[in-house]
Amino acid sequence: MNFREKGNKAFVNGEFETARQEYTKGIEVAPEDPRLWSNRAQTFIKLEYPELAIADATNALSLIEPKIISGKYDDADLILFCKSGWRKAEALVKSDEYGSAVVELERLSQIANRRPVAGVDWNAWEREQDRYSKKHFQDIMFLKNMGSDRYTLIEQIRKMCKFPSRGAYPWDIRNQERCTEEGLASVQKLLEKISGKNIKVSLVSFPDASQEHEFGIVATKDIKKGTIFLDEKPLISIHTPGQRLCDFCNKPISSKKFSCPKSNCSEIFCNRDCFDKAWELYHRVICGKNLNSLYEIVNYEHKSSGSSLLIVLKIFSIAKQRDICPLDIEEIKHLFPFQHSTAWFQHGPIAIDFYFELMKLLEISVFDLRYEPWIYLTIYRKIKPNCNLFSPMTGTGQLYPIISLFNHHCDPNASHTDDVSRAIQRREPFVFFTVLSTQVKAIRNIKKGEQIFTNYMDFTGNDLSMLGNRSGSTKHARQTLETTYGFRCRCSVCESSSY
Enumerate domains of the chain plus CATH numbers.
3-145 (1.25.40.10), 177-232+400-496 (2.170.270.10)
* Range 264-288 average pLDDT: 93
> Confidence band (pLDDT; 50, 70, 90) for 5?
very high
Asked if residues 473 and 499 have their Cβ atoms less than 8 Å apart, the reply is yes
Q: How many Cβ atoms from other residues are within 10 Å of residue 241's Cβ?
A: 14
| pLDDT tens digits, one per residue of 323-367 | 999 999 999 999 987 766 555 545 567 788 889 999 999 999 999
**Alpha carbon 133 to its chain's center:** 29
Task: Give the pLDDT confidence score for residue 446 in this predicted structure.
Answer: 96
Distance of alpha carbon 186 from the chain centroid: 23
- Amino acid occupying residue 7: G
- Cβ neighbours, 10 Å, residue 83: 23
Instruction: Tell me how far apart the alpha carbons of residues 2 and 277 are, in angstroms, rounded to a whole number.
Output: 47
Sign of CA dihedral 364, 368, 369, 370: negative
Whole-number pLDDT of residue 431: 43
> Do residues 163 and 50 touch, judged by C-beta distance below 8 A?
yes
* 136 — pLDDT class (breaks 50, 70, 90): confident
What's the pLDDT tens digit per position in 310-327? 899 999 999 999 999 999
pTM: predicted TM-score of the whole model, two decimal places: 0.87
Distance CA 101, CA 109 (A): 12
Closest to 439 (Cα-Cα) out of 389, 384, 386, 481: 389
* pLDDT tens per residue across span 45-101: 999 899 899 999 999 999 999 999 998 889 999 999 999 999 999 999 988 889 999
Q: What is the SS3 assignment for 229?
A: strand
Q: How does strand 268-269 pair with strand 258-259?
A: antiparallel
Could you tell me which of 233, 247, 322 has the C-alpha nearest to residue 288? 247
Q: Count other Cβ atoms within 10 Å, centred on residue 29.
A: 11
Q: 371 by DSSP, 3-state: which? A: helix
Asked whether the predicted pLDDT for residue 424 surpasses 50, the reply is: no
Confidence at residue 353, expressed as pLDDT on a 0 to 100 scale: 87
Q: Which amino acid is at 156?
A: Q
3-state DSSP helix/strand/coil % of the chain, to nearest 5 = 50, 10, 40
Give the whole-angstrom CA distance, residue 258 versus residue 267.
Answer: 9
380-396 tens-digit pLDDT: 888 877 875 555 555 67
